Structure 1
Amino acid sequence: EIYNFCGKLSIKELIYLFTISRLLITNDSGPLHIAHIIDLPTVSFFGPETPRLYGPIGPRHKVFYDDTFCSPCINIYNSKKSDCRDNICLKNINPQTVIHTIEINKFL
């Protein structure tokens, strides 16, 4: 089953939830890095940020990133603010490819 707990859990509750979970699907975020620390398998999406700097490393962590001409568009030099309103860097990630990756890695 899939659950959405966005904005509903404390960090302590989140960590407990991760200990009983099989997979975290998320964007580049704090929960991604917590899951990586406890070795919960992750599927993560990077667009405005680069996984080269912030992505989890290891076979149990799959990163999706479309290296478009404008990505990464947020960084320390622009105060992590972007004028982008289209997010083509995320729209270009194929959902079928993500599903296939989850299946072949037997995350679920």
Structure 2
Amino acid sequence: MVNFPNEGDIIMLNLSPTKGNVRSGFRPCIVLSDSRFNKVLGLSIVAPITNQKKGYPFEVQLRDGMKTTGVILTDHLCSVDLKSRMFKIVESAPTSLLDECREYVFSFMGGEDV
């Protein structure tokens, strides 16, 4: 039985295989989807995390004091089947960080600007 992550969990996950300009490989990601969604469907919507900060408008800086470092790429969302991929829960992000990520996603999906 899979122990599904909760929203705001930072997980290590292999995003390969991918094509094009999509982040791949074994990397940290933040889970943005609600826990109920994750458990019922066996899927999670995640945003990859990178240490290669480029200053793009949708990058969200991880907070000081977290185990994971870098920026969250909220414009690189992936829906992943966690029943078929190996993953490890590393830590849980503060609610303020999860909220900030969701605000960016909402804004580029046609909601209000951040």
TM superposition score normalised by structure 1: 0.31
The structure richer in helix per residue is 1
Q: Relative contact order: is structure 1 or structure 2 higher (C-alpha 8 Å, sep ≥ 6)?
A: 2
The structure richer in strand per residue is 2
